[in-house]
Chain A
Amino acid sequence: MTDVEMKPADKVAEEKKEEAKDEKPSLPTPTAEIKSNIALIDRAVSTLEPRFTHRVLRTLATLRKRIDDGVLRTTIEEAYPKDSVVKNTLLSWLPSAPAASSERSMEIDSTLSKSATPEPVPEAEVYLRLLILYYLLKSPETYGKAIDLSHQTVEKMQALNRRSMDPIAAKIWFAVERTYELGGQLADVRPLFLSAQRTASLRHDDESQAALINCLLRSYIHYNLYDQADKLVSKTTFPTSASNAQFARYHYYLGRIKVVQLNYSEAHTNLQQAIRRAPPAKQAPGFYQAVHKYFVVVELLMGDIPDRTLFRHPVLEKALGAYFDIVKAVRTGSLSEFQTTLSKHAAQFEADKTYTLIVRLRQNVIKTGIRRLSLSYSRISLRDICVKLHLDSEEDAEYIVGKAIRDGVIEGRIVHEKGWMECGMQKGGYGPEVSDVFGRRITFCLDLHNQSVKAMRYPLNAHRKELAAAQDAREREKELAKEIQDGDLDEDDIGGDF
């Protein structure tokens, strides 16, 4: 699994607009950006509008790559008043800078913020901690330090217990999980996550809850504990208001659990959802590739052959090379080719954790082979089937064909006395199943429509006007009704009025 940083797809457009705006005066320096972010967080807290915080967090992915200790140092120096306790604790996490530069920054500090900048809100501190955490994760030597920092940050977060911190907290949880994973202690942190998840769900903190469920699933699946992961999924409800990125992850993990349990059709839907919700391929290639690997295998297990264009996708072409070979082997229904491909790419499948799934494909290879034979011959001897599919004995061939007929892979029957298989006609394409499929599609479209209606944003108070209008209309009607009752009006007038 790869470290995948994702951004909700729907926000990309907005971001591009911002970038376009920024282009003229050149990209702001990281320091300036962090500072403006802190100001935004401040605004979010004071106006109780989580929107601003979300805007800050959206820049996290790009910002993360540009920070270094110098940037963090100057930002912290400038953002906090001179002898703030918070500042010192924050600075203590950074490697001590060369004296000269730090002095210089101190000078800047004193000149710029002579009038004692007010201490930023605690949310800003947690945000800075998040940045430091990501900075520490850049090199393996500081993993230990990162774990300490993540611990303190979590404690701080829980002690502060502020609702305005929730969006940042969700990000922190993800970073904590990442820290422990890189530090190789993922199993130890599970109790912490579990209790945090309980707290988050009691407080209706949807963002943290979504992030924590994903962290837990990731940790279970990392250790192949599919049973526990499945139980977690059945005992929790994933918050519907979670961001697209969290949903994509959740669906990916669900897909992986389902495919192990041989529930291929559900795994297929989940992985498809993950692909649809994932950010564009160019931005998060790792996630895109990881999902597609499973997606290809699941399609094969369902008896479908994935689209060829998929393997020509620039991001996927290289990563899916081995899977392409497998697809080719399954398509031709040749067991020997399948075996050689499997042993050739065994190491890669092992690393992707798809090896056991691909081994399951063996029966699909046989089924495809039989289906091809049944299409091209109207009558074929068991001996020939045995030779063509590289089966071990005729006896096996008979059982295998029998099973294929029972499972509905092919239409036909075996004539035992003569030792051949007779292939029947294909089933007609009409029946209740067709209306079922049609019904499913219609429901999907209607659902989509309803969802989009729900997702629309309406301007505040706009409905008041309509309400007033409706009130007027009602009053007019009442008057009218009264007049009718009084018999003052004849029917022509009513028609005219309305």
Chain B
Amino acid sequence: MSQLKSLYDELQRAFYSRPSDLKKCGTLLAQLKIGLIEAGLLLPQGDLNLTDLAVARDILEIGAFWSIRTRDVPSFDRYFSQLQTFYTDYASSLPPSKREFPIRGLNLIRLLTQNRIADFHTTLESLPLPADAIADNPYISHPVNLERWLMEGSYSKVWNAREEAPAEEYKFFVDSLMGTIRNEIASCEEAAYESLPLKDAATLLFFTNQSELLKFAQERGWQVNLSASTITFARKGEEKIEIPKQKLIAASLAYARELEQIV
């Protein structure tokens, strides 16, 4: 236990020093997790010492932040699921952690960037907050607003909000979020425009220079006309409607069989 304590102190020092010693944190976290398992605190069950639990929660929270800083999303996912026990089952006995909502918010953003909207909403419903308090909590309202704007199509608002992240770690997701948005916008443009001037396309897609745009256009297979400086979107053509013969035959046979049974 005493060894655990010294490791914990060391972790805190490494984490809070500016800039944090991420490499050291990583090795310390690995040791600490083994220590927690031995003490039965990683997946706590039953009644345990409350201060121990709070320390265990603290370690896992640092772990979650550490995973984001080292850009390791699967590891964040693991830390978050381990923290769930502390946040839900011991919510009444443990003092609330000030890192709880930042971490929950990060989890929401993660779901958003991975385009897991259904999970996003399920998680949102299970938050221990009344619905009208969501707007007042900066950590939660940020992802909630992002989701709303994404669904509406107000992409410029998402773009503008990327600098307003309530915590440092949120910015990590900004890049992948922007990638998602660009693809969304691109697919909208393909459907909604016949052609676009290069300059306007760059503004719509939030590109600052043309070479980036050209690279992107190439990836999506757009026809770029450099002399007229326009992009023409390949029409997917009026797809020929094919009659699903197999399906119709199968359905008709099924009807015939059923009718036979009735008559």
Contacts and interface: CB of A to CB of B under 8 A. Distances in A.
Given A346-B131, A399-B185, 20 more contacts: A225-B126, A227-B123, A261-B118, A262-B117, A263-B118, A355-B132, A356-B124, A360-B151, A363-B148, A392-B154, A393-B156, A396-B156, A398-B204, A399-B153, A403-B152, A406-B187, A416-B200, A432-B241, A439-B251, A446-B255
Given A402-B191, A449-B262, A396 B118 contact: no
Nearest to A391: B154
Contacts of B130: 350
Nearest to A428: B241
List of 3 A-B pairs having minimum Cβ-Cβ separation, nearest first:
A403-B153, A402-B188, A355-B131
30 contacts: A224-B126, A224-B127, A226-B122, A230-B122, A261-B118, A261-B122, A346-B132, A349-B131, A350-B130, A359-B131, A396-B154, A398-B204, A399-B185, A400-B153, A400-B154, A402-B189, A402-B193, A403-B188, A404-B153, A405-B188, A412-B192, A413-B192, A413-B194, A414-B193, A416-B197, A432-B241, A435-B248, A435-B251, A442-B255, A450-B261
B196 interface: yes
B125 A260 contact: yes
Contact of A399 (B155, B244, B255): B155
A362 B148 contact: yes
A5 interface: no
Interface of B: 117-118, 121-127, 130-132, 148, 151-157, 184-185, 187-194, 196-197, 200, 204, 241, 243-244, 248, 251, 254-255, 258, 261-262
A362 B152 contact: yes
Interface in A353-409: 355-356, 359-360, 362-363, 366, 391-393, 395-396, 398-406
A414 B192 contact: yes
Contacts of A98: none
Contacts of A399: 153-156, 185, 188, 204
A411 B25 CA distance: 55
A227 B126 contact: yes
A402 B241 contact: no
Contacts of B153: 396, 399-404
B182 to A, nearest CB: 12
Contact of A400 (B125, B152, B248, B262): B152
A356 B135 CA distance: 12
Chain B CB count within 10 A is highest, among A263, A399, A401, for A399
A486 interface: no
Contacts of B122: 226-227, 230, 260-261
Contacts of A404: 153
A412 B194 CA distance: 11
A346 B255 CA distance: 50
A379 B60 CA distance: 57
A240 B192 CA distance: 48
Given A261-B118, A396-B157, A226 B193 contact: no
Contacts, number: 112
B156 A395 contact: yes
Contacts of B194: 413
A76 B185 CA distance: 74
Contact of A226 (B125, B152, B191): B125
Interface in A46-63: none
B195 to A, nearest CB: 9
Contacts of A261: 118, 121-122
A459 to B, nearest CB: 22
Chain A CB count within 10 A is highest, among B148, B187, B193, B261, for B193
A466 interface: no
Contacts of A346: 131-132
Given A261-B118, A262-B117, A414-B192, A432 B244 contact: yes
A261 B118 CA distance: 4
B161 to A, nearest CB: 13
B125 A356 contact: yes
Contacts of A356: 121, 124-125, 131
A432 B130 CA distance: 46
Contacts of B132: 346, 350, 355
Contacts of B262: 449
A405 B151 CA distance: 14
A491 interface: no
Given A350-B132, A432-B244, A366 B126 contact: no
